[in-house]
Structure 1
């Protein structure tokens, strides 16, 4: 349960010389905060993905204004489209290794709609898009893991909202993933919870299948990023009320990003528990997860279902 009390990215992240980094959702919120925090530590290259080209250009200009030698590339892709992910990486990723992958991007409490590929939109974006991205980058992660002194990490953002899986029979409704999964009550949150459970299960299964890659999931807390601040109506009121009721603080991005930065680069080699689940700041709380989130059989089933979905593209 020991955490990273007092972690300061500027002070406590070591030199990243020689390391290649990729951050999804890097044009705003926690993704942009991650890129900004990692750039001063001299990584060989930082890639970041997203859909907003102008925001990406602004971020690169801002960072280069402070750190002229920083090497950054934006990869335009849409995580809700598996073909977009695959083609974006094929065209945009130019290195032969990848040392740090931050699966940061996500959407929350969206209406009952389908992705371009015919999957429930939150599951498609939060889980399937990142699964495709991880699969495509796996050869580069494994190449980095084979080098002397390697310390390769995959950090996947999740949420305490994963617990809404309790309202789904079996925790993940595999038979409904090709539908909008409409629900009369709390539908957007049930669908969101299922996708966030998938993030936890995928991260732990990745750790089991590839133990030479350190894979963890992170709940960053409730953070004032566009993902939360742009919510409206019932969903906004629901978040405000439940977080107030639980006395959960709302953080700004420079605070909310701390756990994922610590897991990605701040923790010393061997300090992370492979497959762990971290809450702010850097506290491994795997044992607090529901039994479904720790279920190796369910994780294996999700992995195999996901492989089948990805194999179509």
Structure 2
């Protein structure tokens, strides 16, 4: 991620929000949240070589942590700070046993983790149950425009952190782990510690985004974090380019805008109520197939012609 890219992102971030109508500004905020979560997925899958199908679980943990704290009287800033910490703490506790698994076994385990969490949230009166957690206060940032600047500041920080990690000794260790855990361990890389650290960091990114999401909507329910959302984050990371730091931003932009277009199409007069969901599943499948066939490394590596594991 060179200085020109950073400068371009900064210019777009500063100039675009005031020009957008309210409904597009909301999409811009949600796009930034998706990019934040996807940055963690890209680190986990692209550099540590760990497959996850449950990243929305940590998105939910961060959101509910922030929401519950503030509903019970804590300042909103405290709730926002707690969101990534609680999510990272949960990742450390759960990751210790989960990360003993590999490949599709780990993917299914993370998927099961999300299903269990959704069940607990739906049945727990402490979390509002199936009705949801209501009355979450707003952050004092000045409405949707303020949220847009806050979210994209977070995106910039997350991408910068990801870039610095990838460019460091830790990043080289992660790439070694993804290539061969046996060879990495023989070279002195603390494989278990590295895997757990990146798992916790990716959860912290998701938790922070979840905290902002809770304050932005003022309401959370288990249905806000479906399994499809975790799949969506994976598709964003793959389409944008695993093993890159700007890939999550590109992938999130493509998928979020596409989902908005599909929702608009699916809600047209005469379309059945299940049309948006069916269209989304179909397009995710087609995108993955097209990416594997024609852009096997994703959009960013293909356009920049950099090898996998680069820092675009």
TM-score with structure 1 length normalisation?
A: 0.24
Between Structure 1 and Structure 2, which shows a larger proportion of strand residues? 1
- Highest RCO, 1 vs 2 (Cα 8 Å, sep ≥ 6): 2
Between Structure 1 and Structure 2, which shows a larger proportion of helix residues? 2
TM-score with structure 2 length normalisation?
A: 0.24
